[in-house]
Amino acid sequence: METTEKKKKEYQKAVKVLSPNSHIIKNCIWAFFSGGTICLIGHILRKIFESLNYSEDKTALLVNLILIGSSALLTGLGLYSKMGKKCGAGTVVPITGFANSMVSPSIEYKTQGFILGLGAKMFTVAGPVLVYGITTSVVVGIIHYFVMG
Amino acid sequence: MNLMEYLRAFITGGIICVIGQILIDKTKLTSARILVLFVVSGCILGGLGVYKYIYDFGGAGATVPLTGFGYLLSKGVIEEVDKVGFLGAFTGGLKSAAGGVTIAVIFSLLAAIIFKPKEKN
């Protein structure tokens, strides 16, 4: 048993040494096209709202509304995680991935209750993002005040 | 209609996602860490005035990735500091992100009410 385990490990090591680059390139191509497509959709939506004479702020908000809403729907139907397996970072990095990181645990943990299940787990990823995003923004604001003020 | 503009959005967004993919494959960072890193980077690049150029070039290609969320935070905080002074540093960031965060919370809640958890295979 031990030798087969050992052989298995050695084999996995060999595979890892031989194939990582082709693997990474393939993943990157998927990430590029999927992430690019999501951004392209965002840009098309933006152009549509701009042509309807919405202000810059309102346009950005409406685009987010549609992208986050679509992501919530796809996550609920179990399609977003399927896309994620192929697309990798292409579905993680866009705002739809951020929405997915909130929607997915919300659905999964609602059986543990609406407060400590749904309510708390919703922020498993979004919580840290907000903590460090907000902190950085405060630092940026303070520096801006002393440098530019 | 300017087709180049759409191509630029596609390429900019694609490249930012490829950076994320390389980080995932090369450093084994979890996606949560990647998202934190991207928001913080976007906010710093926004504060330094660099991200504005990426935004001018890529449009939604720069705002849809989470670095764009960081940029939004920095943009909001700088505008608020210019408007109300020092205290703006504590309100500007979240103020500009209020819409996006609220939308994400509401949709998460709605999705959790509508959909059932998937069985794990």
Query: What is the total count of domains within chain A?
Result: 2
The verdict on a CB contact (< 8 Å) between A94 and B94 is: no
Asked whether residue A101 carries a pLDDT value surpassing 90, the answer given is yes
Structure tokens at A85: 């397996």
Same domain, A77 and A113: no
Residues A60 and A116 occupy one common structural domain: no
According to the model, what pLDDT value does residue B115 have?
A: 96
Give A105 to chain B, closest Cα distance, Å. 9
Chain centroid to Cα A5, Å, comes to 36
A136 and A79 in a common domain: no
Q: Would residue A101 count as lying in a domain? A: no
**Digit-coded pLDDT (tens) for B30-55:** 989 999 999 999 999 999 999 999 99
Domain enclosing residue B82, as ranges? 3-114
Is B64 part of any domain?
A: yes
Residues of the domain holding A137: 109-149
* Burial (CB count <10 Å: 0-12, 13-18, 19+), residue A106: buried
Least CB–CB distance from B24: residue in A40, A88, A95? A88
Q: How far is B78 from chain A (nearest CA, A)?
A: 6
More confident residue, A133 or B118: A133
Q: Are A94 and B13 in contact (CB under 8 A)?
A: yes
Res B120: pLDDT: 55
Which DSSP symbol is given to A109? Answer: T
User: Quick one: pLDDT band at residue B64, thresholds 50, 70, 90?
Assistant: very high
Residues A113 and A65 placed together within one structural domain of the fold: no
Q: Convert the pLDDT of each residue in A41-82 to its tens digit.
A: 999 999 999 999 999 999 999 999 999 999 999 999 999 999
pTM score: 0.90
Residue-wise DSSP of B21-73: HHHHHHH---HHHHHHHHHHHHHHHHHTT-HHHHHHHHTHHHHSBHHHHHHHH
